Amino acid sequence: MTTLRQRMIEDLKVRNRSARTIKTYIAQVANFARHFGRSPELLGPEEIRQYQVYLVNERQVSWSSFNQAVCALRFLYRTTLRRDWAVEHIPFPRQPKRLPVVLSQAEVQRFLGAIKKLKYRAILMTAYAAGLRLSEVIRLRVSDIDSERMVIRIRQGKGQKDRYVMLSPKLLELLRSYWRRERPASWLFPGQWRQHRPIDQSTVQRACRQAGRDAGLTKPVTVRSLRHSFATHLLEAGTNIRIIQTLLGHSSVSTTQRYTFVSNKTVRATESPLELLAYPVKAERF
């Protein structure tokens, strides 16, 4: 390990960045250095600009990946190398704003009913019932299910924040059936071959996609879309947006407010002007 890499890791750790963030930042800086075949200490604003152009034009990376590279380079040059020009010469791009994919309640019911394996049904039902991120649901421990208070404890979610979410009685019933069959000791959803570690994210995502296909859904179903559906369904049921913000673990309510753009309660609140026409428009059959 190079001295610069060690210093950057130490700088990230003392700022209490998560292990995942540290791994991502180090990988992004390594890719940057590998692209030019030189240490980042010998590179400057012009190389950073060239690398950004390369990521967009040649690699055609997603905007989220692009921003990860920008964040990593900003941290390296501003914090570890203390270069004065770091902030001005590493701009963030404008990200396209896309609405989340949301399942209807009927689609969620079809989806959950199509999951054959009890363990996968327990994982994915937990994700929807509590609005959890994939990383949060797979890292639940048996002790996080508090049936006395009917809450689930989420340890160190995004931003390294703990929070509590509701424990649905229907979910508790399924989790008890799952526990009686599988008898998990520490992790609620351990890996198949390595019981001392939680189930792998890719395994859960594959099970999620398969259940979506088995349910005959045309929408792409992921754990993230289940979380989006949780928030939207709460909003449509009249839950205060501040409560939804707390349940989702959002730092800002503006992040939560995007669900108002996909909520039926909002979108269908006003009638289309077509309905105000005196005579119906004659249309050919589809």
105-267 is classed in which CATH architecture? Orthogonal Bundle (1.10)
Q: Could you check whether 3-80 and 105-267 share the same CATH topology?
A: no
At residue 284 the predicted structure's pLDDT band, cuts being 50, 70 and 90, is: low
Cβ distance 195 to 142 under 8 Å?
no
pLDDT attached to residue 188: 95
Q: Mean pLDDT, the chain, as a whole number? A: 87
Task: Give the pLDDT score at 25.
Answer: 94
Report the pLDDT averaged over residues 113-119.
Answer: 95
Q: 27-31, 45-49, 85-89, 129-133: lowest mean pLDDT where?
A: 85-89
Assign 175 a pLDDT band (cuts: 50, 70, 90).
very high
The model's pTM? 0.71
**CATH second-level architecture of 3-80?**
Orthogonal Bundle (1.10)
User: Taking residues 228-246, what's their average pLDDT?
Assistant: 89
Q: 217 pLDDT band (50/70/90 cuts)?
A: very high
CA 88 to chain centroid: 29
Token pair 């905007």 in the structure block, residue = 63
The DSSP symbol for 198 reads B
- 205 vs 106: CA distance, rounded Å: 21
| Residue 157 predicted with pLDDT over 70 | no
pLDDT over threshold 80, residue 148: yes
Domain boundaries, the chain: 3-80, 105-267
Tokens of 185: 């000791």
